[in-house]
């Protein structure tokens, strides 16, 4: 629903704080890594819900997922910008093999498979998240 009709679901979620809280909690429970899930306290989770509720921004946060449903690259096309791919190791989350990703992203500098953390890595393991961002941009820093 977030990828195909984000506006429809966002209107419903913006109409109900309980519905919004249930939606966010369900995503947290299904998309986060059980090993790191307890790193976000109930107060922090409620704060997250409140930010979306008070600013009415759940819809704009869902727009990010729409391009995932767009047509893939045509044969022979590639994304030539420097790229880092950061994925989590999971039996339920499927990712294309690295060799396939390198065909689509020939300038891929880094391919990192995380041993823990899920969709919400910045909340689940903020230190690892910052480390990965730093490592991604380290070659581009001016000294």
Pair 112, 131 in one domain: yes
pLDDT for 91 equals 61
Pair 62, 82 in one domain: no
Q: Please report whether residue 1 resides in a domain.
A: no
Percent of the chain surpassing pLDDT 90: 38
List strand residue ranges (DSSP E) for the chain, in order: 83-88, 108-114
Pair 60, 80 in one domain: no
Q: Please report whether residue 21 resides in a domain.
A: yes
pTM: 0.74
Pair 24, 61 in one domain: yes
pLDDT surpasses 90 at 133:
yes
The domain containing residue 128 runs over which residues? 76-140
Pair 23, 54 in one domain: yes
The band of 93, judged by pLDDT with boundaries at 50, 70 and 90, is low
Q: Count CB atoms within 10 A of the CB of residue 21.
A: 18
**Residue at which a domain ends, from 67, 91, 120:** 67
pLDDT 10s digits, 30-75: 888 888 888 888 998 999 999 999 999 998 888 777 765 566 677 7
Name the residue with higher pLDDT: 24 or 115: 24
The residues, ordered by sequence, that sit 6+ positions from 83 with a Cβ below 8 Å of its Cβ are 105, 107, 108, 109
């Amino acid at each position: 629903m977030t990828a195909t009709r984000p506006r429809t679901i966002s209107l419903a979620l913006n109409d109900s704080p309980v519905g919004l809280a249930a939606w966010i909690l369900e995503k947290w429970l299904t998309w986060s890594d059980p090993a790191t899930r307890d790193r976000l306290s109930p107060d922090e989770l409620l704060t997250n819900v409140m930010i979306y509720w008070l600013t009415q921004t759940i819809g704009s946060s869902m727009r990010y997922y729409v391009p995932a449903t767009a047509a893939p690259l045509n044969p022979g096309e590639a994304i030539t910008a420097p790229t880092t791919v950061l994925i989590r190791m999971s039996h339920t989350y499927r990712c294309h093999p690295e060799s396939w990703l390198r065909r689509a992203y020939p300038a891929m500098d880094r391919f990192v498979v995380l041993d823990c953390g899920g969709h919400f890595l910045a909340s689940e393991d903020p230190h690892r998240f910052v480390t990965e961002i730093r490592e991604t941009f380290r070659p581009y820093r001016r000294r």
